[in-house]
Structure 1
């Protein structure tokens, strides 16, 4: 198992099924985990489910509306005020709406799906300096294989995921440029995981995310990893 002792990892969307497994996996690996969710009740339930007795690794929950730019940047400042610098960020905010062919791609559904991109933009910007300053910063999100082969009934979903992947590639370019400008080896990486459906791959996702710290940043920055293969 990857040893993440001394690392701080933020999981955005931690109250989902994949979030719970990711938090547990990261805690088991020795990371200090900041589990972020919107609903305090769900965060309380998450706290009751996570077992940190084996490693003794500390972890905390943080209630934050990731669609609120000021709230996200406030969270980043609050963590830095506690001398907490983030080394890793796993973005799990998402959801599915679709069907009905192209005519069924409603604006209401698009705005719902767009929330995941908005949250990604906020958290990646708020913690960009932390990830660049880390000696091994890792940012990852979950996308969909539908980006490569979109269907009419999932056009909204595929469009938002494609935009999210473009954002992640821009973050990757920013990591590379910052390293070049400082004449330092690349230490931060932005990675996209693609799935057909996340259900059943939650543990695989958590393990592959943790394993990013076992790989040189230059080998994984600006890459797409298909978890279905």
Structure 2
């Protein structure tokens, strides 16, 4: 009996920016397994090699750099999804423990959201079914003093992503065309890489008009 092949994302191109984490590896495996062309970026050649061994196209590039992401976008052409996965957590110690050093260490997550959304804007719109998705935290809805730096960065990332959504909607409205590109937020209290991967596979199950500017809870 022939092995069942999952090809639901055949023809889709997905960029995972900053994908050398457990979440990036899980997402790459799931997307590749569903037939997508997966392109992953990272700053670690060793980390990227694990992704390359699993069939992912890899590029040594900084997801927080607009210049590097713009160069990559020019090499790839139209893409169907971009998911910045730069993350990490630092905190604790109440409000007094929210150091400038910790805040600076968390900022790359926001910088990656800004850089990738800007660099791939044209490519996502050219797709006809473009999806921009970020991973945020439930801390945005209920920020704690010990995680104020983290919650602030995640809240800013969400605000930027929602602004991207508004831009997509306005462009469609101004041109009198159907909305085909969507920007969404995934929130988790403690991110399960496999849950995120499964949810990314569903990005095209819903029309952009019903998906754009939505916040989804992964827990």
Give the TM-score range, shorter chain. Answer: over 0.9
Q: Residues of 1 paired with 2:134 and 2:66: CA distance? A: 19
Match for residue 123 of structure 1? 116
Confirm or deny: 8 A CA contact 2:66 2:118 kept in the other structure. no
Q: Residues of 2 paired with 1:134 and 1:209: CA distance? A: 17
Residue 95 (structure 2) pairs with residue 102 (structure 1):
yes
CA separation of 1:117/1:2 partners in 2, compared to 1, >3 Å: closer, same or farther? farther
Question: Of the candidates 60, 71, 74, which is equivalent to residue 71 of structure 2?
Answer: 74
Confirm or deny: 8 A CA contact 1:2 1:210 kept in the other structure. no
Question: Of the candidates 186, 197, 207, which is equivalent to residue 198 of structure 2?
Answer: 207
Q: Residues of 2 paired with 1:75 and 1:139: CA distance? A: 16
Q: Residues of 2 paired with 1:140 and 1:2: CA distance? A: 21
How does the TM-score come out when normalised to structure 1?
Answer: 0.90
Q: Residues of 2 paired with 1:141 and 1:129: CA distance? A: 18
Question: Of the candidates 37, 57, 61, which is equivalent to residue 60 of structure 1?
Answer: 57
CA shift for structure 1 position 150: 0.4
SS in 2 for 1:90: strand
Match for residue 142 of structure 1? 135
Query: Number of aligned pairs?
Result: 214
CA shift for structure 1 position 2: 7.1
Confirm or deny: 8 A CA contact 1:87 1:131 kept in the other structure. yes
Runs of 5+ consecutive residues of structure 1 not aligned to the other structure:
53-58
Match for residue 215 of structure 2? 224
SS in 1 for 2:11: coil
Q: Residues of 2 paired with 1:123 and 1:164: CA distance? A: 12
Q: Residues of 2 paired with 1:22 and 1:122: CA distance? A: 20
CA shift for structure 1 position 206: 1.0
Residue-by-residue CA offset, 1:98-123 (whole Å, 9 max, x unaligned): 00100110111101101110111001
SS in 2 for 1:93: coil
Question: Of the candidates 43, 51, 75, which is equivalent to residue 48 of structure 2?
Answer: 43
Confirm or deny: 8 A CA contact 1:13 1:19 kept in the other structure. yes
Match for residue 9 of structure 1? 14
Question: Of the candidates 160, 168, 171, which is equivalent to residue 167 of structure 1?
Answer: 160
Q: Residues of 1 paired with 2:84 and 2:68: CA distance? A: 16
CA RMSD of aligned residues (A): 1.2
